A and B are shown apart, each in its own frame.
Chain A
């Protein structure tokens, strides 16, 4: 049963073939058995999960069940959830029991989804390997020596290991797509502004966006129907009519124009990854898609622009952790400033501190124009590249990362090497476009490789359509690691 998709579980619950309590118990047992080796969870609360599952069963018995009532899920530990520890992977929030719930959590609760637990992540979503968690690195279920990707590594690993059918995640520079690619699961980052950031612990507010990770594109569409929607408590939430993201899943792909950006297939791309992407493109061509050669000339500049903008916004957002209202406070201090400095030195990990320091510098007096403003201008150039590209094609395809998952410890001592591996994902966040990763094959070591699909603004239904048609013709998304 734990191999089933969200859609299948929803059907089995509706048919009375299984109860929500039975389902939750199966997943909790599997988590208990496998999580010690994977470290994908920060918090599991069996009693609470089973109580929520019983409530879902009661709602169904009373005739009040929706499509996803009673289906189990996992939240990334970045979404505030009332009564649950919301640590964001940080010592700073290790003692933080959220007094309120994020909009995404409210929406999931309203849909009747049952929370199995809270997924591990890079501290404050800063990282590409999940090695930056205060709670220790998450292991890749396909190879325990490998990173699962980050920052939503716990979410992706949990879905890959079949510890949950679906998990929420967030993506500031690739944090949904890259772990989904490395773990062989499907994930989508919607257009900026589609999913409310209310109650989602802030990293870089102009880039942060929530989305789902699941086995299939169809499940991602079902989850996005739950997670998306206008919320006035997020000042950048977009006021748009509700969409059914499943509406185009079954459209044929004949005539679809797929753009292949030259810059995504240049030096630095691993040969095995290139082959997987070529094969995926060939499959779509077989279904009638036409390939268009496109250029995104400013791709390389996305790295410096991102590593100015994101740290700048992070340094501002994380100034709230002062040891006064919630979270960690140092034990001994001589005055207020000493309390701030010790609290923050103890509460934050090395990567978070680095980004706060970079951000504090680029925003400091006399440097704003040279760094933050310059990066925002480059951001415009990157967005313009995509606008020009989408005049020629409907979706853009490419790799998610230059290689499959690297080994734990391989890049952790060298932040710059780690940043360079974000080359194919950052520009999508800078432009605010939707992007997804779909399982498309494996490298020579048997580690999963994802195909990235980038859509135009609000092109989620089209991307999910492409991904679903690809998944109807391939079985990569059905492969699960032996555990």
Chain B
């Protein structure tokens, strides 16, 4: 497997990380080296093996449907990049 520059650009888009044209060759080479390492696992036969997501294989707990958190909007918005009237501001998304 070898990622092309187009592949790298597509992955960067998916990850929402701007990768400049100057960076793309170096990033592509590094990713290809990493995938060279990763591909070694394709040689292993894993037929019939149950995937393992959690070491203890425990199921998720349910909790009582009660209020446990108090409103801390001011504390949380004090560290936000841009807020107004209690709202987080982002660039316009709907015309």
Report A's interface with B, CB cutoff 8 A: 95-97, 99-100, 191-193, 206, 232, 235-236, 238-239, 300-301, 303-305, 307-308, 315, 319, 322-329, 333-342, 344-345, 348, 353-354, 356-362, 364, 370-371, 373-381, 383, 414-416, 419-420, 431-433, 457
Contacts and interface: CB of A to CB of B under 8 A. Distances in A.
B53 A206 contact: yes
Contact of A354 (B31, B46, B54): B31
B30 A336 contact: no
A241 to B, nearest CB: 16
Nearest to A416: B33
Nearest to B74: A99
Contacts, number: 171
A378 B91 contact: no
Contacts of B82: 329
Interface in B59-81: 60-61, 63, 72, 75-76, 78-81
Nearest to B35: A358
B11 A364 contact: yes
Given A236-B54, A238-B58, A358-B38, 15 more contacts: A99-B78, A191-B55, A307-B38, A324-B80, A339-B90, A345-B18, A354-B34, A356-B17, A358-B34, A375-B41, A377-B46, A377-B49, A377-B50, A383-B52, A432-B54
Contact of A416 (B37, B50, B80, B91): B37
Contact of A236 (B42, B52, B58): B58
B46 A232 contact: no
Contacts of A376: 51-53
Contact of B11 (A357, A370, A375, A415): A357
A416 B55 contact: no
A334 B90 CA distance: 11
A341 B81 contact: no
Nearest to A308: B38
A379 B37 contact: no
19 contacts: A99-B72, A193-B58, A206-B54, A239-B61, A307-B37, A324-B88, A325-B88, A327-B81, A333-B91, A341-B18, A345-B19, A353-B19, A353-B27, A354-B30, A357-B11, A373-B51, A416-B36, A457-B55, A457-B56
Nearest to B3: A361
A378 B46 contact: yes
Given A303-B37, A364-B11, A415-B33, A341 B16 contact: yes
Contacts of B91: 333-336, 338-339
Contacts of A326: 76, 79-81
A232 B39 contact: no
B85 interface: no
Contacts of A360: 11, 14-15
B34 A307 contact: yes
Given A95-B79, A97-B79, A315-B15, A380 B52 contact: yes
B39 A340 contact: no
A419 B34 CA distance: 9
Contacts of A359: 15
Nearest to A302: B41
Contact of A378 (B7, B35, B44): B44
B41 A304 contact: yes
B81 A348 contact: no
B49 A380 contact: yes
Contacts of A356: 15, 17
Nearest to A420: B37
Contacts of B76: 99, 325-326
Nearest to B36: A416
Contacts of B15: 315, 344, 353, 356-357, 359-360
B90 A336 contact: yes
Given A335-B91, A339-B90, A341-B18, A193 B55 contact: yes
Given A345-B17, A357-B17, A96 B41 contact: no
B38 A324 contact: no
Contacts of A342: 18
A188 to B, nearest CB: 16
A328 B80 CA distance: 9
B35 to A, nearest CB: 8
Interface centre among B16, B39, B54, B92 (most CB of A within 10 A): B16
Contacts of A192: 54-56
B61 A232 contact: yes
B71 to A, nearest CB: 13
A443 B8 CA distance: 42
A371 B1 CA distance: 13
Contact of A304 (B31, B37, B46, B75): B37
